[in-house]
């Protein structure tokens, strides 16, 4: 998954536990316009398993999901409001 769309908003959720990382992601998406792009940094484990699945279930588009050199995960979401 690669995207050439520019990120509109960046959210670093390092150290944020489930379900708060999804709650913060969802609240941010609700404030954004349709078509805007949100980049989120998530920890390994439950956050990277649950947040992308939940965001997709909400109807948003996952553009990128990749591991960073630091062992975290970069999730890029297109808001489909």
Q: Indicate the helix (H) or strand (E) that contains 74.
A: strand 73-78
- What is the C-alpha to C-alpha distance for residues 46 and 17, in angstroms, rounded to an integer? 8
Torsion of CA 18, 64, 79, 37, to 10 degrees: 110
Q: Pick the catalytic residue: 7, 8, 9, 18?
A: 18
- What is the C-alpha to C-alpha distance for residues 64 and 39, in angstroms, rounded to an integer? 9
Our answer to whether residue 58 is catalytic in this structure is no
Both structure tokens of 35 = 């078509």
Residues identified as active-site = 18
């Amino acid at each position: 998954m690669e995207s050439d769309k520019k990120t509109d908003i960046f959210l670093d959720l390092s150290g944020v536990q489930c379900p708060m990382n999804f709650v913060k992601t969802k609240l941010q998406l609700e404030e954004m316009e349709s078509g805007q792009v949100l980049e989120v940094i998530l920890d390994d484990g439950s956050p990277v398993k649950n947040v992308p699945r939940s965001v997709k279930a909400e109807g948003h588009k996952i553009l990128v999901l990749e591991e960073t050199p630091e062992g975290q995960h970069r999730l890029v979401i297109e808001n489909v409001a």
